[in-house]
Structure 1
C-alpha cells in the first residue's frame, strides 16, 4: 500500500470531501432530513482543521453515511452520493479512501444523468484533476478508470502495484 505523508493525506481528505459535497444534493433530494452524510463531511472537515483523530468517531461517521445508502437504495444517484461521503470521511483513517470518494461521486453523476453521463463525467474528472495538488495529480487520476460498457459508463479504481 502506498504511503502518503500526513500533509498529502490532509490534502487528499480535502479533495475527497469536496468531491462528495459536489454530489451530496443528490442524496438530499431523496432524504432532506437525513443528516448522516452531512455529519460525516463535517467530521471530515473537523479532522482536516484539527488533525485530531479518534478512530471511533471517524469510523462511526463513515459507517453511518454508508448505512444511509440503504435508505435510498432505490435511488442509485442518492445511494452513490452517500457512499462518497462515507469514503471521504474515512480518508482521515486511510488516504486511499479518497479514491473511493471520487469514484462514488462519478457513479452518482452517471446514475443521476445517464443521458449525458459521458460529458458530465468528463467535466467532473477535469474538476477532480484540477483540484488535486500537482504532485499527487498523476498518481491519483491515473488510477480512476472510466470504461464504456453496453449498459453505460463503468467506474473503477486501478489497484495495481503501489496502491
Structure 2
C-alpha cells in the first residue's frame, strides 16, 4: 500500500483524462447552480477551463482562477444543491493540479467533482435514493481508464467529509474494483 510520502508517476495524458472526467461530472449539475443564480457564470467558467485543459490546453491561471471563483460562488449560494454544484465545478478546474504524491487527499482531487455533483443531484431530487444510485453509476461508467489507474496508485479515500465524503468513498471503491 502506498504511503503519503511515496511519489507516483502522473502523465499529462492522465491529468487530461482526469480533468475531462471531472468537468463532465460537474457539467451535469451546472443547471442546478444556474437556476439558483442565473447571472453567475463562475462555475460554468471553471468547468469550461477544465474541459479546455482536457482537450489539449495548457495548465494556466484560468484553471486556478476558475477553481477559486467557483469556490467563492459556492460560498455565496444559498440553496444546498447549488452549493454542491459550484463545489463540483471548483473541483473540476482543480483536477488539473493533481499532485504526484500517493496521498489519500489526492483522491479528493480526482473524485471531488463527481462526489459533489452526486450530492447536488441527490439534494435536487429531495434525496431520492434512486437518483443517487443512478448518478454514482453514471460517474462509474463514464470514468476513463486513467481515473481507475491513478486511483489504484493512491491510498483509499480518507474518512470524514460528511455525505460528500461518503459518496466519494463509494465511488472510489467502485472505480478501484
Q: Same fold (TM over 0.5)?
A: yes
Normalised by the length of structure 1, the TM-score is: 0.79
Gaps of 5+ in 1: 146-152
Match of 1:80 among 58, 78, 84: 84
Flag the 1:143–1:24 CA change in 2: closer, same or farther, 3 A: farther
Number of aligned residues: 150
The C-alpha deviation readout for 1:124-146, integer Å capped at 9, x for no partner, is 1111111112464387599579x
Structure 1 vs Structure 2 CA RMSD: 2.8
The structure in which a higher percent of residues are strand is 1
- Quick check: 2:14–2:146 contact (8 Å CA) kept in 1? no
Residues 144 and 28 (structure 1), Cα distance of their counterparts in 2 relative to 1, 3 Å cut:
farther
The answer to whether the 8 Å contact 1:36/1:68 transfers is yes
- CA gap of 1:32–1:91, structure 2 versus 1, over 3 A, is same
Do the aligned partners of 2:16 and 2:56 also contact (CA within 8 Å) in 1?
A: no
Q: What displacement does 1:100 show? A: 0.7
1:3 CA displacement: 4.0
Alignment partner of 1:40: what SS? helix
What is the alpha-carbon distance in structure 2 between the residues aligned to residue 68 and residue 140 of structure 1? 29
**1:99/1:140 contact within 8 Å kept:** no
Q: How does the TM-score come out when normalised to structure 2?
A: 0.73
State the partner residue of 1:101.
113
